[in-house]
Structure formats: C-alpha cells, structure tokens
Chain A
C-alpha cells in the first residue's frame, strides 16, 4: 500500500511538472487551437450564444490567465491605495469584464486562422511575448500577442495585445479617472455597473 501511494505521488508530481514545463509558445498554440476547433464545431457559439462562449472561455482559457496581475497592471499607481478587500473586488469585477469581452471576440472573429510567430527565448527568461497573426476572411491580418510570466503554476498570460493595443493597460487612464473622481470604491462601483449591464444583455440573448 505504501508503495502504491508513493508511486501515485510520484506520478502526480511528474504530471504537475509536465504541466509546468510546457513552453509558453506551445501553451498559447495548444489553447488557441483547442478553442478554435470547438468554436468551429459549436452551432450555438456560431449563432452568437455569448453564455456558451463564456463557458468555453472559463473552461479552456482562463486557467492560464493571471487576473490578479492583469488588474494590478490596469489599475497602476492606485493599486497600492486599495485595501485587500478593495483589491479583491477589483480583480473579481475586472475578470468578469475581460471574460465577457474576450467571449464576444470569439463570436465576432469565429472564422479566423492563426499563424504563430517563432519564439526566440533564453532558458532563463521568465517574461516573454508570444506573437501570433490572425488572418480574417476579409481585411488585414491582426497581430495578437500574449505576454506570459513564469509562475510556480506554469506560464500564465497577464497581458494580451490586439493590433498593438493592450487590452489591459488600455484601461489605465479611464481607471485613474474613476479613482480620482470617486476613489477606489468609485472604480469598483463603475465596473460593477458595467458588468450588470453586460450580464443583462447576455440574459436578454443579445449578441
């Protein structure tokens, strides 16, 4: 019995180590190709079912995102002003906002193909950009880049840049404005209101 447990334990640690050892570019590639395959097959997502797209994002994509880091980056200087409770509220609300935005993007750009740029990376690096080019059926290809950081739980995405625009730092000045008008609580309240409106539009079945 002891041996069995020991074997199981070592197997578990091996599989955990394997998960951590996936290179950042391989991680981005496998997650995006999984997601694209599902989006291509799923009739509900094809016809604009945002709740289904959110479900897909939650299951496949979000485990690889570091939302606390994203929120810190978006809030910038004001992050240190926030109490631990406020910080938690900010992360929760910002997560909801990003997930809904990301899921809409799935639906709007469902017919795309992705080209992966080769990653030149030193073994000691802990912060890398994985660069991709998304080809649309019409119009110019869009550059989408993922900024990943090496953590104890493997590589985590903490910024996404679409056509050179960071989805995270793009909030910085509007967040700063909210904080200067209503404090950190004011920012949390605005995010909550935005998410409430967004959830209502999902419930109403709007695309």
Chain B
C-alpha cells in the first residue's frame, strides 16, 4: 500500500493533509452506530467513494493491463528495485526505533542487492537470509508511544490514521523517488511505482469483495489492525476487549 502515498510528491501533500485535518477536527454527523476511532466517518465515506471511482476508472484498468502485458519476472524485478530503494529508509527508521541489529540487516540488504542484485533487480539478500522489514515514520512514532489518533480517508492517498498522516509527510520528504531532480524522470518513476503496487493488490480485490459486508468499514478495520500489527513488528498483543 505504501507505494501509493508518495505518488503525488510533497507539493500536493501538504494542502491535502491540511484539508483532512480541518475536516476531521470539525467532525461530521453520521447515522447509525458511531465508531470512536472514526469521528469523521461521513466525510471519510465520501472521500472513499471518490477514491473508489477514480480507481475503477483509471488506476485499476491500467494495473490490469500492466499485469497482463509484463511477464512475472519483469514485474518482480520492478518491485524489487523500488523495495531496494526503500531499504535504506527502513534502516534509518529501525535505528530510530532502537533496533540497531535490524538496521544493520536492512543496510546490508541494500548493499548486497544494489551490487550482486544488479541495482536491486534481484533480491539476493533474502536468499542470503537477510529478512525484509517494513518500517516508516508512522510506525516509528507508534513505537515511541504516540497513539494512532482519528482515522482519515485522504483523497488519492487512501486511508491513514492521524499518526501515519504525520509520518507520511516525513516519509515523502526523504523518499528517494520523490527527490529525483529531473521532473519527467521523477513523475515516470512515481507512476510506475503506483501502477506496480496496484497490480500486486489485484488478487486482494476479489477476496475483499467476497469477505466484506461493508467495504468501507472492512478496509478501515483492516488498515487499523495492519498498522497496529506493524508497530508491534507482526506480534501485536490481543486487544483487551476481545472476547
């Protein structure tokens, strides 16, 4: 999912976040049972409908074409190149979270994949037993004890909680793709990353369709669970109110 956030770069991001913050602090009246984690549900649902429409009209068809045209090894190479660029950023976040051993692992991944893996096209580090991690500034804040805050559905960028929206601003500042000076190159790299990420999510579409009574709340709850799990590095304690 993370690929989606960087796409429009920092220029579009700041005003979007400001709008989201204003709307969420104002709150919106919603019908039915209210979820304390989602105070702006009415607004969020409207943005979700907009995002869904855009996805169905533009992004999904492009991703389907991309998936159909390119053979698996090519798509896998594209994913690996972007993942490799992210590893240094992940190393920095692991360091900030007080996990130096993981940070060394991530930096070593970057070194091996950039060299033996030919600029990251092949993920040789995983074969060597260096595990891939997933970290970002939102998780780092969570590790430092910051709570998730209200849930937001951002236009174009998708779901975030307030903590991750703040993390997203920092993420995009240090994003290597977003910092490419040559604008056409940067836009191309961003667009390919977006389409590639969307293509990897195609199988999930059908499963969510089969599973969800209400797609909006299903995705919201999945997002919140996923982020909580990531903050605990995949081993979250059971929520206290369960059972």
Q: Is B213 engaged at the interface, CB distance under 8 Å to the other chain?
A: yes
Interface centre among A72, A76, A138 (most CB of B within 10 A): A138
Chain B residue contacts of A143, Cβ below 8 A:
234
Q: Per-position contact with B for A116-137: 1 when CB-CB < 8 Å, else 0? A: 0000000000000001000011
Interface 9-residue window, one of A6-14, A28-36, A60-68, A174-182 = A174-182
Instruction: From B33, B76, B221, B243, give the contact of A137 (CB < 8 A).
Output: B76
Assuming A138-B79, A141-B132, is B213 touching A194 (CB within 8 A)? yes
Contacts A137-B76, A181-B33 hold; do A173 and B83 have CB atoms under 8 A apart? no
- Say which one of A38-46, A81-89, A100-108 lies at the interface with B: A100-108
Q: Does B115 contact A (CB under 8 A)?
A: no
Is A20 part of the contact surface with B, judged by Cβ < 8 Å? Answer: no
Contact A108 B206 (CB under 8 A): yes
Asked whether, in the complex, the Cβ of B225 is within 8 Å of the Cβ of A169, the reply is yes
Q: Closest Cβ of chain A: how far from B84's Cβ, in Å?
A: 12
* Cα(A100)–Cα(B217), bound, Å: 20
Contact with A along B6-34 (1 / 0, CB 8 A): 00000000000000000000000000110
In Å, the complex CA distance between A143 and B75 comes to 21
Q: Are A180 and B226 within 8 A (Cβ)?
A: no
Q: State whether B206 touches A169 (Cβ < 8 A).
A: no
**Do A207 and B206 touch (CB < 8 A)?**
yes
CA distance A93 to B5 in the complex (A): 37
Beta-carbon contacts under 8 Å, B168-214 to A: 199-200, 203-204, 206-207, 210-214
User: How far, in whole Å, are A164 and B234 apart by their CA atoms in the complex?
Assistant: 6
Which chain B residues numbered 213 to 233 have a C-beta less than 8 Å away from chain A? 213-214, 217-218, 221-222, 225-226, 228-230
Chain B interface bracket (under 10, 10 to 19, 20 to 34, 35 or more): 35 or more
Task: Name A residues whose Cβ lies closer than 8 Å to a Cβ of B.
Answer: 72-73, 76-77, 97, 100-101, 104-105, 108-109, 131, 136-141, 143, 161, 163-167, 169-174, 176-178, 180-181, 190-191, 194, 198, 207
Minimum-distance CB pairs A-B, first 6: A164-B229, A108-B203, A139-B200, A180-B33, A101-B211, A138-B76
Query: At the interface, yes or no: B42 with Cβ under 8 Å from chain A?
Result: no
Is B236 positioned at the interface, with any CB of A under 8 Å from its CB?
yes
Q: Are A140 and B225 in touch, CB under 8 angstroms? A: no
Residue of chain A at shortest CB distance from B208: A101
Which residues of chain A are near B76, meaning CB under 8 Å?
A: 137-139
| List of A residues within 8 angstroms of B242 by Cβ | 73, 76, 169
